[in-house]
Chain A
Amino acid sequence: MSLLAHHMKKDARHLRWLLGLWVLLVAAEALLINFGNRAEPDNLPAQIAYQMISVLLPMLQYLLVIVMVPLLVQDEPLVGTTAFWFTRPVPRRLLLSSKALFCLLAFVVLPALVELAVLSINRVPLMDVASVAPEIIFSALLRLACAFALAALTLNFARYAIVGAAAIVAIVVISAAVTLTMLFVFGLEETAFAKPASLLVSRSIVSNVVVLLLCLATIVNQYLTRRTGWSVVLAVLAIAGSFAVSSFWQIDFMQRETQAPADSVVDCEKLSIGPRFESADSSTKSFGRRAKATQRVRAEVSVHGLPPAHVADVAAMRTRFTPEGEEASTISSTNRETLYYRSDWTKKNLSDLFPGLRIIGQDITYSRYADILTLPPPQYLELKNKRGALDGEADVLVDRLVVSHTFSLEPGSRFHEGPVEETIGEVNAESGGVIILVRRSQLTRNWARLRKGTRPGEENANKRKVYYVLVNRERGEVVMPNDDSFVDFNFSSFPFHLSVKSFSLRYPADRLAERESSFAIDADWLAGAELVRLARERVAECTVAFHEDDFSMTEDLSSKARSVHKHTIPADDLAP
C-alpha cells in the first residue's frame, strides 16, 4: 500500500462518522433535486417545507465542509511547533497530495458526480450537462479552497472558527464600505445595482478565479515552506483581489451578442422612440456630502415601428438638452432604464400571433419608465420651465413573439427544449374554467452568456419571457390566463442548478368571467382546446435616435415627439 493511500486511509478513519453524514446529505440533496417540488402550488405548508429543506440542505452541506476540512487539515497542523508529524518522516508534498486528493474526492468529485447524474436522469441534454459541469466543480472547489486555506493558516479548530468569523465580518464590512464608497463617490451608475447582469457574471467569475488561485497558492506555500507570514499575505491578497475585481472589472465577456435570425423582419431604421414625459415624476438622488445630488427626469418610453408580434425593451438612453438660445448650457446624461414590469402579452400582440382568432382576456398594462435626463438640482430648477432641444438615442432590444410549443390537454404532454422541460401534470376543470398544472424542470447556468437585458435563468422561465394561452381553433378563441394564476407562487429551489417545480395556469380569470359573461370554458370547449406556449426570441439590438425641438422638462410632450432613426448594427452582424 502506498504511503499516500496509507495516509488517506488514516484520514478516512478519523472522519468516518462525519464522512457518513456527508454522503447522506449529498444523497438527500440528490433526491430533493431529482424529485423536485411536486407539491401543489397552492399547498402552502408543503411549499414552505420544500423551500426550507432546499435551503437547509445546502447550508448543512456547507457547514459540514467547513467543519470537516479543518478537522482533516489540522490533524497535521501547519502552524505552531508541537505537531506530531513535524518529527516524523512524512514528506510535505505527500501530505499535501494526500489532503488535497481526499478533499477533492469527498467534497468535489462525489457531489459533482451525483449532481451530474441527477441532471442526466432528468433528461437534461448531454451538452448542457457538460456545460454546467465546470460551474458545479468550480463552485465546490472554491468553497473547499477557502476553508482549506483558512485551516492551513490556523493551529486548531477554535482559532479557525474565530479567524473565519472575523474574516467574514471583515468581508461584510469592507464590502459595505466599498459599495457605499462607490455610491457616494461615483454615484449609483457605478455600483453593481446599475450594471448589466452579464457584467456582474463576468466580475463574479473573474473574482472567484482570483480567490481560487490565491487560495491554492496559500495552501501550496504553507505546505511546502510553512512560512505562515507569506501565506497570510497571499490570503489577504485573495480577499483584496476579490473586492477589486468585483468593483472595478469592466470586461464583459459573458454578454451574448444577438445574431438575428435569417427570417427577421426588423429594420432598425424604421424604429422610433416616442417619449411621453411625466412632468411630476422627477426625483432627487443624493448620497452623502461629497456625492453629487441629481435630479432625474423620467418618462414612459415606447418604441414605434415594430413589426407585428414584436416587442422591445429600452436598455439605455443617452440624451442631450440644449435650452433655446443657450448653447453653453447644454447638458447631457446617460441613463439606464428603470426596470418596471410591463406585460408584452397584450391582446394586440396575441392577435398578431393568432390572426383571425378572438382573443379573450384583459391586457395588463404597466408603465415602463426610463430616466431621460439626469442633472444637478439647481440646474433642474433653472431649466425646468425652459424650452429647448432634446436629442437622444436609446439602445433598444427587439424580441419576436413566437409559438414555442403546443401542448395537448392531457397529463404527460411534454415540451422539451434544451435545458427546459415542461410537462402537463393535471388538467382540472372548474366551474366556467380550467386549472392546468405544469411541472417544469430547468437547468440554470450561472455562467451562461447572457443577452442584453436578461438575467441568469430568465430567458426560459421568467413570465415576461414565456406565456401560455389556451386556444380552441375550432371555436376560433384564444384565452389569456388569469393574471394571478401565472404568478407561480410555489417556491424556487434556488441553490440547485436543476430546478424542478410546478405551477398552475388558470383559465379564464375570474374578473374576465364577469366582463365576458357570454364566454365559459366547459368540457366541450376543452375537448377541442390546446395549451400554447409562447416565448420571446431576440431578433435585433438597435440604437434609435430621437430629436425634439420644443422640449420642456415639465410638460407632457407625447403629442409632439418626433423621431429620427439611426442604424447602428450592420446588416452583416445580424446575419445568423
Chain B
Amino acid sequence: MSDELAIETYGLCKRFRRKTAVENLNLNVPVGSVFAFLGPNGAGKTTTIKMLMNILSPSSGEGAVLGCPITHISPEIMAQIGYVSENQKMPEWMTVGGLLSYCKPWYPTWDDAFCDRLLKQFDLPMDRKLRHLSRGMKTKAALLSSLAYRPRLLVLDEPFSGLDPLVRDEFIRGVLELTEQEQWTVFVSSHDIDEVERLANWVGFINDGALTVCEPVASLQSRFRKIEVILAGETTARPVLPADCLLPEASGRTVRFIDGAASVPDRMEELHRLFPVGAQMSASPMGLRDIFLTLTRHGRVQKERGAA
C-alpha cells in the first residue's frame, strides 16, 4: 500500500446476487487531492464508497484507505476519516450541540476552536434538534461533525442532493477553503458535474460498475476535444474513424466526434491523414460536464451494441 495514496483499490467487485454493482475497480486517489467520483445514477458510486468505508464487504478484490485494508478499518483509522452522505441516518433526536458533544470524545484530534469557527461559519442553531432542521442544515451539521476533528480524508457521498443553490455554494466554498488550508484529501461522489468541477483536481468516471477514467482534471480536459470536420466539395465518401473516437455522427458534409486520445499531436496527425485534402478540421476543448456526458452516452451505446 502506497503512502502517497489516500485510497487505492485493486480489482474490487461487489455483486448482489445476480447483479454486479461494481466490477474490477482499480482506483487511486492521491493524498491531498480533491477527487471527484462521477457517474450516472446506479453506476456504483455509493456501493464503492460503502466498500471503502467497510459498510459493505467486497465480493472480491482488495483496497486500502489511509493505508489500512478496507475490510479491517479500525476505530483509529475511522477517527481520521470524515464522512458525509445524503443517505446517512443521523441521530435525529439529538440537538446540534448534543451531536457535537456525543462525537467529540471519539476523536482524539477534536479541535474545539475549529469546531466553534465552523459553527459560526455554518450558522447552525446549537439547541435545535436535528429532526427539526432543514435538509441543508442537516447536511451542514453532518459536515461540521465530520470536520471538527480535522480528518485526513473527507468522503462526501452525493453531498449536494437536496441543497438549494445558496447552500451548495456555501458548502463548496467551505470545503474548498478548508482543503486549501488543511491539505486534506477529499473524495466526493456526485452526478452534479457543475458543482464538482469547481472543487476537483482529480476525477474518476464510473459507469455500470466499471471505472472508465481516473486521472487529473487538467489532463482529462486537455485530452478530450470535440472534433468537427467539414469535408471538401461534393465528397460523400467517409473515412473510417479510429476505433477510440467516441460518438461519431455525420450530417451532410459535416462529421463530428469526440476524441479522447492520450497523445493529442499524434492523433491530429492521424486525422489529417485520414481526411481528404481540403477538409476543414476544428477541435474545441470540452468541459467536465461534456466529457461526463460523452462517456456516459458512449457507455450506453456500447452496452446496446453488446446486447444486440
Q: Is the beta-carbon distance between A82 and B76 smaller than 8 angstroms?
A: no
- Bound complex: CA of A1 vs CA of B101, how far in Å? 13
B contact residues, range: 20 to 34
Rounded to whole Å, the gap between the CB of B151 and the closest CB of chain A is: 11
Task: Kindly identify which residue among A1, A14, A75, A86 contacts B105, using a CB–CB cutoff of 8 Å.
Answer: A1
Q: Is the beta-carbon distance between A14 and B93 smaller than 8 angstroms?
A: yes
Residue from the set A13, A84, A86 with the largest chain B CB neighbour count within 10 Å: A84
A52-109 residues at the B interface, CB under 8 angstroms: 75, 77, 81-84, 86-91
Specify which chain A residues have a CB less than 8 angstroms from the CB of B107 in the assembled complex: 89
B74-92 residues at the A interface, CB under 8 angstroms: 75-76, 78-79, 81, 83, 85, 87-91
Q: Is the beta-carbon distance between B55 and A88 smaller than 8 angstroms?
A: no
Q: Is the beta-carbon distance between A87 and B75 smaller than 8 angstroms?
A: no
| B53 at interface by CB-CB < 8 Å | yes
Q: Is the beta-carbon distance between B106 and A88 smaller than 8 angstroms?
A: yes
- Bound complex: CA of A274 vs CA of B88, how far in Å? 79
Specify which chain A residues have a CB less than 8 angstroms from the CB of B93 in the assembled complex: 14
Specify which chain A residues have a CB less than 8 angstroms from the CB of B106 in the assembled complex: 3, 88-90
- Bound complex: CA of A356 vs CA of B103, how far in Å? 85
- Bound complex: CA of A83 vs CA of B50, how far in Å? 11
Specify which chain A residues have a CB less than 8 angstroms from the CB of B85 in the assembled complex: 82, 87
Known contacts A3-B106, A14-B93, A84 near B78 by CB under 8 Å: no
Specify which chain B residues have a CB less than 8 angstroms from the CB of A13 in the assembled complex: 98
| A511 at interface by CB-CB < 8 Å | no
Q: Is the beta-carbon distance between A87 and B91 smaller than 8 angstroms?
A: no
Q: Is the beta-carbon distance between A89 and B89 smaller than 8 angstroms?
A: no
Task: Kindly identify which residue among B50, B54, B76, B103 contacts A88, using a CB–CB cutoff of 8 Å.
Answer: B103
| A473 at interface by CB-CB < 8 Å | no
Q: Is the beta-carbon distance between A87 and B88 smaller than 8 angstroms?
A: yes
Residue of A whose beta carbon sits closest to that of B86 = A82
Specify which chain B residues have a CB less than 8 angstroms from the CB of A6 in the assembled complex: 102, 105
Residue of B whose beta carbon sits closest to that of A6 = B105
| A10 at interface by CB-CB < 8 Å | yes
Task: Kindly identify which residue among A14, A83, A86, A89 contacts B79, using a CB–CB cutoff of 8 Å.
Answer: A89
B25-64 residues at the A interface, CB under 8 angstroms: 50, 53-56
Known contacts A1-B105, A10-B102, A87 near B78 by CB under 8 Å: yes
Residue of B whose beta carbon sits closest to that of A83 = B89
- Bound complex: CA of A7 vs CA of B222, how far in Å? 52
- Bound complex: CA of A82 vs CA of B85, how far in Å? 9
Residue of A whose beta carbon sits closest to that of B80 = A89
Rounded to whole Å, the gap between the CB of A235 and the closest CB of chain B is: 21
Rounded to whole Å, the gap between the CB of A248 and the closest CB of chain B is: 38
Task: Kindly identify which residue among A77, A81, A87, A90 contacts B81, using a CB–CB cutoff of 8 Å.
Answer: A87
Specify which chain A residues have a CB less than 8 angstroms from the CB of B90 in the assembled complex: 84
Task: Kindly identify which residue among B75, B81, B88, B91 contacts A82, using a CB–CB cutoff of 8 Å.
Answer: B88
Residue from the set B53, B78, B79, B155 with the largest chain A CB neighbour count within 10 Å: B78
Specify which chain B residues have a CB less than 8 angstroms from the CB of A1 in the assembled complex: 105
Task: Kindly identify which residue among A10, A77, A84, A86 contacts B53, using a CB–CB cutoff of 8 Å.
Answer: A86
Rounded to whole Å, the gap between the CB of A22 and the closest CB of chain B is: 18
Task: Kindly identify which residue among B56, B78, B98 contacts A89, using a CB–CB cutoff of 8 Å.
Answer: B78
- Bound complex: CA of A395 vs CA of B93, how far in Å? 65
Specify which chain B residues have a CB less than 8 angstroms from the CB of A86 in the assembled complex: 53-55
The proximity string for B residues 83-121 relative to A, scoring 1 for CB distances below 8 Å and 0 otherwise, is 101011111010000100011011100000000000000
Rounded to whole Å, the gap between the CB of A560 and the closest CB of chain B is: 78
- Bound complex: CA of A13 vs CA of B97, how far in Å? 13
Q: Is the beta-carbon distance between A91 and B75 smaller than 8 angstroms?
A: yes
The proximity string for A residues 1-15 relative to B, scoring 1 for CB distances below 8 Å and 0 otherwise, is 101001000100110
Rounded to whole Å, the gap between the CB of A329 and the closest CB of chain B is: 65
A1-35 residues at the B interface, CB under 8 angstroms: 1, 3, 6, 10, 13-14
Rounded to whole Å, the gap between the CB of A259 and the closest CB of chain B is: 59
- B residues with a Cβ closer than 8 A to A are 50, 53-56, 75-76, 78-79, 81, 83, 85, 87-91, 93, 98, 102-103, 105-107, 155
29 example contacts (A-B, Cβ-Cβ < 8 A) are as follows: A1-B105, A3-B105, A6-B102, A6-B105, A10-B102, A14-B91, A14-B93, A75-B91, A77-B89, A81-B50, A81-B55, A81-B56, A81-B87, A82-B87, A82-B88, A82-B89, A84-B88, A84-B90, A86-B55, A87-B55, A87-B85, A87-B88, A87-B155, A89-B75, A89-B76, A89-B78, A89-B106, A90-B75, A91-B75
